[in-house]
């Protein structure tokens, strides 16, 4: 699966099974012939490659039991649980790092009365502090 927006071509021959998000190159509206469809029609991508890709995707879905439970098949399914929230809080707490200048490794003079650190870039003015995919 591609990272969000990271693919700019039909890359199934290179092992990409899913383009995320959306389907600019490897999918499309029902009845629409996309770049992937055209690549299959002109012989650049074989049906065996399509079958292998679909098999990898569906094998994992079956292993996870996705087809064993009722699905509404929308991105609005609420999968939040108390256990998930607890795990998310625990992981966040354990992954938080407080910057320390142990041994004076950073180019910061810890003895100065006034310390200035510049935070530069778009995230300095409008930070994404949660959500937003890779945010």
| Catalytic site residue from 3, 68, 70, 109 | 3
90 in catalytic set: no
First and final C-alpha spacing in the chain: 18
Say if CB 18 and CB 1 are below 8 A apart: yes
Burial of 34 (0-12, 13-18, 19+ CB in 10 A): middle
Within 13 Å of residue 121, how many CA atoms lie on the same side as its CB?
4
Q: How far is CA 2 from CA 15, 59, 111, in A?
A: 10, 18, 47
Q: Which strand (E) or helix (H) includes residue 72?
A: none
Q: Which residues form the catalytic set? A: 3
């Amino acid at each position: 699966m591609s990272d969000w927006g990271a693919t700019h071509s039909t890359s199934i021959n290179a092992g990409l099974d899913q383009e995320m998000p959306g389907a600019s190159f490897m999918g499309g509206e029902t009845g629409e012939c996309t770049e992937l469809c055209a690549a299959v029609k002109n012989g650049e991508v074989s049906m065996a490659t399509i079958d292998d890709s679909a098999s990898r995707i569906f094998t994992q879905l079956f292993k996870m039991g996705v087809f064993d439970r009722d699905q509404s098949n929308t991105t609005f399914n609420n999968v939040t649980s108390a256990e998930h929230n607890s795990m998310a809080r625990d992981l966040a707490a354990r992954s938080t790092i407080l910057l320390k200048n142990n041994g004076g490794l950073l180019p910061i003079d810890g003895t100065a009365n006034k310390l200035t650190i510049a935070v530069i870039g778009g995230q300095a003015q409008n930070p994404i502090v949660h959500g937003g995919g890779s945010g």
